[in-house]
Amino acid sequence: MLKPMPDLQSLHVLVVDDSSVARAVVRGGLLRMGVRHVYEAPNGNEGLAVLKSNPSISVILLDWEMPVMNGIEFTKILRQQPAYRDVHVLMITSHAEQKDVAMALASGVDDYMIKPFNSATIRARIERVLARSARMHTSRFGEYLVQKGLIDQKALDFAIECQKALDVSHFSIGAIAMVNGICDAQSVIEKLRPALKSQQSPSKLLEAQDFWGEIVNREQLDQIVDLRSRRRLLIGDVISALGIVKAEDLKEELGRFLASEKPEESLSSAPQEG
């Protein structure tokens, strides 16, 4: 089952563009969409610093042409760091030729928006890339590899079974805490006694960070939450680790797979806002 896409209000979005006017236009569009957490940077170098200081950022709207560090350089550096592999990058640029699109996708960009654009276009691209990410964590990319003849169905089924068993992103906070020896079940159950009298749902309590804040210290809680958020296995990770297809070959196929998913409508026909 696919995870539901996060509500836009919960998203943390970084806008990287050397034009303060362009950043203001994009920020305004995001706020109108309901995004409450918007960060800005004037170039890729400062964008990396903002991202490091704000680990909740999950979507980046990125200009291509910028001084100091352009969008392609930024994305290549970003994709070399495992901690940021789940951050979604949407390129916003006037570069419209197919070779430019291919270059952006090859650098690690998730989607590509051609100027001019409007809020509706931004929202559609963000929702699409989040939905695509959910599919990528299941069998979507694997099915593509089967169709291309790079793997067979038996190998894909085996990889999916491994992925489901080893991906801890769906584990509860408590499960991760106990498996890592941070706390024991008995002490947690004792903390649940008041909930029995008040008829509160134990499952909801066990997912609340405030509840765990009374059992483990802040550093331990951050470790648990980080482990759950970062240990998301892509089907491609499993396939390459099993030695079915080389990682570098998978990366090339991933670029082709993403490029094959054409936009539902023309991005260049949308009127510019602001």
Is the pLDDT at 165 greater than 80? The verdict is no
Predicted confidence at residue 262, as pLDDT, reads: 44
Higher pLDDT, 47 or 267: 47
Please state the domain extents for the chain. Answer: 8-137, 168-230
Between 19 and 218, where is the model more confident?
Answer: 19
Residue closest to 85 by CA, chosen among 36, 137, 19, 21: 137
Other Cβ atoms less than 10 A from the Cβ of 92: the count is 24
Q: What is the CATH number of domain 8-137?
A: 3.40.50.2300
Give the global pTM: 0.51
Identify the pLDDT of residue 4.
37
What letter would DSSP give residue 110? S
State how far Cα 109 lies from the chain centre: 12
Three-state secondary-structure class, residue 234: coil
d(CA 93, CA 1): 35
| Residue 196 banded pLDDT, cuts 50, 70, 90 | confident
127 against 57, higher pLDDT: 57
pLDDT at residue 268, rounded to an integer: 31
- Please, are residues 110 and 88 in contact by the beta-carbon 8 Å criterion? yes
CA–chain centroid gap for 124, Å, is 16
What distance lies between CA 117 and its chain's CA centroid?
A: 22
pLDDT digits (tens, 9 = 90+) for 227-254: 665 556 678 888 988 999 988 888 788 7
- The dihedrals phi and psi of 14, each to the nearest 5 degrees, come to -110, 130
